[in-house]
Every structure is written in structure tokens, then in C-alpha cells.
Amino acid sequence: MLLNCIDVCKDYYRGKLSVPVLKNVNFQVESGEYIAIMGPSGSGKTTLMNLIGCLDVPTSGQCILNGEDLSRQSSRKMAIIRNRVLGFVFQQADLLPGLTALENVALPLLYRGTGKRERRERAAEMLRKVGLEDRMEFLPNQLSGGQCQRVAIARAIVGAPKLLLADEPTGALDSKSGEQVMRLFRQLNGEGITIIMITHSMEVAREADKILFIRDGVLTEAGEEGIQS
Ligand SMILES: Nc1ncnc2c1ncn2[C@@H]1O[C@H](COP(=O)(O)OP(=O)(O)O)[C@@H](O)[C@H]1O
Ligand SMILES: [Mg+2]
């Protein structure tokens, strides 16, 4: 099992008032699975992603990723897990504007101390994989939104993560670029990458092995009811 979330609760505090946002969330992800998470705005999707993504810790309960309990790690160890085990794709590509596509993709390898030549080779290979071999030396402002998102995907997978986390990766794209990005995720999953993706699109979610539905901080595996709503 790659990920096991056990009775995960997350409260936010407003002054002294605690607001429960995730309520006893339980789910497991096996290596190689493609999981979609759906739910209305404000239901706790990003909060859950932040816990799995080592950007925050649960108020109670455990997230065990790749055998390590994420609620018990130092911030230094969390940063290492983010760099070594996880890849992230968000709604916005958030590329560094002063770096070329190739340099942006190579960045996670720089953080882990890979040498320059290997960084460039690996980054170039990833850009070929996402169909941008002819855009390697372009700056972000010379690329379309869909191309920027494909650069962000290349950056997310350059370190060969065990788990790819995507929070509405097509949310800011036109439908054609969105379809291209979805095809890419399907291809990556076919190559063995485990994916957890937040999406608003039932069409996208149907491609996943499993759909999880979150409402008011309560997570359920979508049955027929969930699919129809
Ligand atoms: N840092 C925070 N402090 C207080 N409340 C927060 C914080 N982040 C999110 N929330 C609240 O938690 C709930 C879930 O937010 P979020 O996980 O971002 O939802 P979603 O991604 O499903 O739209 C919302 O009601 C939001 O207002
Ligand atoms: Mg969100």
C-alpha cells in the first residue's frame, strides 16, 4: 500500500473557535492506482491534498505514505519526502518566469543535488514526453497556458515520484488543452505512476480506477448515488 489515511481529522482555528474541516477521513491507495477526488468548493479537497503532500499536518489521525507516518516527521524530512516521493501539479503552472522550460523542469533535480549534465538530460527527456521537445529554450511568457501546464507536469515527474498529486490541473485551461493534459495523465498512469487528482469533471473522474467524493469534510467512495450527482 502506498498511502493509508486513518481517521484523519483537520481543524482550523479562528481565534479560539475550532472549525472541523476534515472529519475522520479514511482511504487507501495502492501503488499504480489512479484516484479521482470530487466535491463542492469548500468541502476540504485542498486541505486533504495538503496533508498528503506534506504541506500541513493532521489535527488527529495518520497519513502513512510509503511506510512513513507524515504526522511525525521534522520539517526537513517533510521537504525531503516532497522532493523524493511526491510530484505536484496545481491549477496554475507557477513556473519561474526567468527560467526556460528546460531549467524549470530541471529545478527539482537541482534541489536534490543532481549534476548539471544529468539534470539537463532528464529534463529534456521529460519535455519530450509531454510533447514540448521544440519548446525547451522558451520562457514561460512565450508559451501558451496549456504548454505551461505541460511544463509543470514534466517538472512534477522529473524526479520519478511514487505519487503524483494534482489539484484541478485543468481548471484554468481551455477544453482542448485540458483534454491534452488529461491524456497525458492517463499515459503517465499507464507507465505506472500513481495519481491522486482533484477534479470537477465527471468525465475526467470516470477515467480513474476509483472516485472518492468529499462533502463537508466527510469522504466516501462514490457509489451510484455519487456518480449521478
Ligand atoms: N488556512 C485556513 N484557515 C482557516 N480555514 C481554512 C483554511 N484553509 C481552508 N479553510 C477552510 O476549510 C474549508 C475547506 O477548504 P479547502 O480545503 O480549500 O476546500 P476545497 O479545496 O474543497 O475548495 C473551507 O471552509 C475553508 O474556508
Ligand atoms: Mg481547492
Mean pLDDT of the chain: 94
Ligand 1: does its nearest atom lie under 6 Å from the Cβ of 46?
A: yes
Using DSSP's 3-state secondary structure scheme, residue 126 falls into helix
Ligand 1: does its nearest atom lie under 6 Å from the Cβ of 65?
A: no
Closest ligand 1 atom to residue 12 Cα is 4
**What pLDDT digit, counting tens, does each position of 36-63 carry?**
999 999 999 999 999 999 999 999 999 9
Closest ligand 1 atom to residue 50 Cα is 17
- CA of residue 226 to ligand 1 center, whole Å: 22
Helices marked H in 62-174 — which ranges?
A: 75-84, 101-111, 116-129, 145-157
Ligand 1: does its nearest atom lie under 6 Å from the Cβ of 43?
A: yes
CA distance 50 to 221: 20
* pLDDT the model gives residue 227: 52
pLDDT at 223 over 70: no
* pLDDT the model gives residue 201: 87
**What pLDDT digit, counting tens, does each position of 118-129 carry?**
999 999 999 999
SS3 of 70-92: the string is HHHCCHHHHHHHHHHCEEEECCC
- CA of residue 218 to ligand 2 center, whole Å: 15
| Range 141-150 average pLDDT | 97
Do 70 and 10 form a contact (C-beta atoms < 8 A)?
no
* pLDDT the model gives residue 226: 47
Neighbours of 225 (CB within 10 A): 9
* pLDDT the model gives residue 229: 47
Ligand 1: does its nearest atom lie under 6 Å from the Cβ of 199?
A: no
